Structure 1
């Protein structure tokens, strides 16, 4: 057409109808710009509408594959999550989470560098013999995201020795938490180190945490799947935290959550009366025990 031929002749040669040509000339197709898919929300809902963070779902997946469900693939693991925890979740998301955890079927045959040590029954007679670590998830309504609280508790005196509070929670944070706890209890030079007990969460089976246990000469044992009673003391603290603190606040920002939770942990350690400690706070119990004003006791776990 630029050379003087009529549009009808050119269209007849190339095999395009005139109506199509003039319609597209009048309504040019705009170039589509790909903006990416939907942002990953970071949580799934239960059948009752309660948000459950992806980190909690990962922990449930780790517990499943550590037990009888170890023979299942991601599709059957999806069914387990739906039946046992009431999650509204599809197999595509479970596949993505399993891939992030590196627990898809072909990878399960890889040699484990740090074999799992199952938690055994113990008799605790003093502080610094057994410590438990676990993670609590809190929700920030104003920002529509979760924060993570990982605490380490001494089973005997029930004090929260240290904690990690943040918007992420990885194996390196668990290693740093254990290191700080040993430093605060002045146990680096002791030959008798405390046993660290955890569940089977991804943070606690990571190379970073297991390597730290080896470096600090600390025995790490993991509870069997679906036996939270083996980690009862830290689970009890998190239940107290939920009832006394988290359930009574709707956080607008992460800063609000951080301030509220840290204040509560300080209150718990220093002033909250504990029925198992002669109605003393953990700090008061430690001081009274050192002065011989209260009798030592035995804790069976």
Structure 2
């Protein structure tokens, strides 16, 4: 509209200009007769400066501040702004909300100090480690798959051994809680013959399980499984640092490209079978360039038979 108006003021025929910009003559001339006024935002409703009692009487904010100071001198001195709000309503019959009481308490500098939130499960941050053999560092993560018939997602939790790239265990299901993952890990440790270390067992490095900060991995159940039940070390990567979980992220990328994108999952049973078959293929047959074109199982067997040169990975 502004463009058309500039051309008309420059001397061009109004009808022709309005036809070009597809604006009706009536619309154009109506806008000229009724110019729009730009409204400037005032930042919300102004503070009224008072509240009312239940009988409708106005009480100024300065008086309410006096009430607050009186309350803070009595037994209510231990109260925060939420309970002070209830005290104002009960004692002085005010109609007032907690947001206003918070603002007045802040003006008076009488807010109670906030309690620090204590993390139930303190995070042990992942750090660079030297991996010289299987069963020293496992990376664990969760991926989603989509089932067409039910239009729902399923979970796939996978654990990979960083040294030989074997998917040592996986779980798939419509729900994925910490108990499902710990059960999967327990089976994987049994299959890999990883025993619970004794108090004086210092010969074999302790297994380290590395995860992100998902709710399953921050739970007390997962902590108890790692620290108390299986005596393994659990560490979590910092937020936005997937490179520290690069091996499992790489597997999920390969899984997406070679399995998910090549199949349309009709039912959950179909999806589970396809995923199981692919992981079997990945472990037993798929060539890995980083493993000298051997499959993870072949590489693991060569390590067991002392057929590999010593290798150190830093992760």
Matches within 5 A, 1:46-85: none
TM-score (norm 2): 0.60
- Report how far residue 143 of structure 1 moved: 1.1
| Per-residue deviation, residues 218-241 of structure 1 (Å, max 9, x unmatched) | 111000000000000000111110
Provide the aligned length of Structure 1 versus Structure 2.
Answer: 195
Alignment-derived partner of residue 298 in structure 2: 284
Selected match of 2:283 from 259, 263, 269: 269
Does residue 173 (structure 1) correspond to residue 186 (structure 2)? The answer is no
Deviations 1:13-63 (A, max 9, x none): xxxxxxxxxxxxxxxxxxxxxxxxxxxxxxxxxxxxxxxxxxxxxxxxxxx
- 1:250 corresponds to 2:264: yes
Q: Deviations over 1:199-250 (max 9, x none)?
A: 0011100111111112211111000000000000000111110000001111
1:222 paired with 2:229, answer no
Q: Compute the displacement of 1:294 (Å).
A: 2.8
Return the offset for 1:187: 1.4
Unaligned ranges ≥5, structure 1: 1-107
Q: Which runs of 4+ in 1 moved over 4 A?
A: none
> Is 2:171 the counterpart of 1:164?
yes
Distance 1:196 1:221 in 2: 6
For 2:303 and 2:141, how far apart are their aligned partners in 1?
27
RMSD between superposed Cα atoms in Å: 1.6
* Aligned residue number for residue 160 of structure 2: 153
Question: By how many angstroms is 1:177 displaced?
Answer: 2.1
Q: How does 1:1-301 map to 2 (within 5 A)?
A: 109-190=116-197, 191=201, 192-215=205-228, 216-301=230-315
The answer to whether the Cα contact below 8 Å between 1:289 and 1:296 also exists between their aligned partners in 2 is no
Higher alpha-carbon Rg: 2
> 1:109 offset after TM fit, Å?
4.5
Out of 221-230 and 110-119, give the one that drifted further.
110-119
Shift of 1:298: 1.2
- Describe the SS at the equivalent of 2:217: coil
Query: How many angstroms apart in 1 are the aligned matches of 2:271 and 2:298?
Result: 27
